[in-house]
Amino acid sequence: MLIVGICSAVLPEPAYSQPAISSPRILVIGDSLSAEYGLRRNSGWVELLNATVSKRPTPVTVINASISGDTTSGGLARIDAALTTHRPTIVILELGANDALRGLPLTLTHKNLTEMIVRSQTAGAEVVLVGMQIPPNYGREYAQGFKNIFSTAATQTGAALVPFLFEGFADQRQYFLADGIHPNESAQSLMLATIRQALDPLLR
């Protein structure tokens, strides 16, 4: 099975204070797609991003707080601590695929994503929301609803949107591990290029 690529009440906003930071800091909160699942260490798209932006005239620090198997509920439970610890200027949210694998309610995934965006923005960070999709064998209505969650959450909050992380290779088996779910090493640069379309304008 190939997993590709999630209305809403916003919970009360926590209070944050974003101190001055000398250089940009990117915090990635994701699941196995960002945590180098099944890959050689330092070969995932987050590490490729770090290798690129750390060489900029104003170096950018990248913190990878991704956990394989994580859901949007797990991300929401830990985002406050991550924001306080790392004080990012940009947050990349790559979560939701595991919600769909478990058949969780779309309203829950949407609420969690929206709340994580709002909390990140309240902490002074800009947000890139990474969209995913699921195949229609999950049910066309559920699959379409899941896809729409990301664009809806981005529109409601003003977050930058990556419509589909696997854009351009989702149907090409050679870019996936044997499980047919996780992209292999050769796909990581493609994923990064897709993410940078939304990220680079924020870095400018």
32 part of the active site = yes
Please give the sequence-ordered ranges of beta strands (E in DSSP) within 44-178, or none if there are none: 61-64, 90-94, 126-130, 160-162
Residue that has been written with the tokens 């609803």 in this structure: 145
Q: Which long-range contacts (CB under 8 A, 24 or more apart) does 83-86 make?
A: 83/16, 83/27, 83/119, 83/120, 83/123, 83/125, 84/16, 86/25, 86/27
| Catalytic annotation, pick one of 179, 186, 189, 200 | 179
Single out the residue of 173, 127, 133 nearest to residue 153, CA to CA: 127
31 part of the active site = no
Residue 67 phi/psi, 5-degree rounding, is -135, 125
| Catalytic annotation, pick one of 34, 70, 120, 182 | 182
Residue that has been written with the tokens 């000398």 in this structure: 22
Cβ within 8 Å of residue 57, ≥6 positions away: none
182 part of the active site = yes
Pairwise CA distance, residues 99 & 72, whole Å: 7
How are the residues of the chain apportioned to helix, strand and coil, as percentages rounded to the nearest 5?
Answer: 45, 10, 45
| Catalytic annotation, pick one of 31, 32, 34, 70 | 32
Give catalytic residue positions: 32, 179, 182
